[in-house]
Amino acid sequence: MLWKDEGRSSNLEDRRGMGGMGGRAGMGIGGTAVLLILSLIFGRNFFDDVPAATSTVTQSNGSLSPTDSAAEEPEVRFVSFVLNDVQRTWAKTLPKYGAQYHDAGLVLFRNATQTGCGTGQTAMGPFYCPLDEKVYVDLEFYDELKTKFGASGDFAQAYVIAHELGHHVQHILGTDAKVRRAQQSDPSAANALSVRMELQADCFAGVWGHDTQQRNILQQGDVEEGLNAAASVGDDRIQQRRSGRVNQESFTHGSAAQRSSWFKKGFDTGDPRACDTFGGG
């Protein structure tokens, strides 16, 4: 991806050097609370994304050494560029369809941090909190994206941010509130509606990808990286890796095929109206 260093985004907040709790050891009350809130808001079982705890949560000072800070700075600059670029795309795109976009924030943290939804932890992976309109990312996830999910490349990393900002677009459009009401009316449809929410966010990520292609900042292999990243976090692949079994009824994000297909639809059309996962099957 032909990205340029624009410095740190004004919408980026760096909390990596702040104190927190070790998010991988266990959940704790705060972590449980944020998972519950996000699960209720998005109808997505965030608890399924967190590996079973083997010990209690331990306190960490969250300090970031000068060496670590310097080593991660290029990645911070890349995240800043993607954050700005995705939001510029939506700022010029949404008004064409009768809506105004406003920026979301992005918080970099390590281990755990306070959010508008409660205490967010690394083990939850990147997530968007609609209550404070911020995306939360621990840069360690990008190592997992390569080693654990088999999705490498800078465009794969960019897809993650674009997907989470897709949830911000849904929040602006009121989609999340409509889905929440529908889930309350019919709890048996909660998982299916959650899948449609996630697939639409994938499609919105593809809409941004289409815009990058029009501006000639994609490189050979970038599209494949995005498709692979979308597929790698499909429910079927995650379940297969964790337990060796696939239970479609428990899907909350969509299958690998669905996720890559909807990303491609957004990428091919560049039209958010093509991302009607609720009426488009």
pLDDT digits (tens, 9 = 90+) for 131-188: 999 999 999 888 887 887 777 788 888 999 999 999 999 999 999 999 989 989 999 8
Confirm whether 1 is domain-assigned: no
pLDDT at 238 > cutoff 60: no
In a domain, 183, yes or no: yes
**Domain range enclosing 177:** 12-275
Asked, for residue 152, whether it belongs to a domain, the answer is: yes
Mean pLDDT of 255-270: 91
pLDDT of 83 > 50? The answer is: yes
In a domain, 5, yes or no: no
Count CB atoms within 10 A of the CB of residue 264: 18
pTM: 0.82
The Cα–Cα gap between 160 and 147 comes to 15
- pLDDT, tens only, 95-110: 999 999 999 999 999 9
4 located within any domain: no
**Structural domain includes residue 210:** yes
CA–chain centroid gap for 54, Å, is 26
How far apart CA 9 and CA 265 sit, in angstroms, is: 29
> Does 2 reside within a domain?
no
Count of all residues that appear for the chain in the document:
281
Q: For residues 132 and 159, what is the distance between their CA atoms, to the nearest angstrom?
A: 22
Task: Provide the domain count of the chain.
Answer: 1
Q: Is residue 101 part of a domain?
A: yes
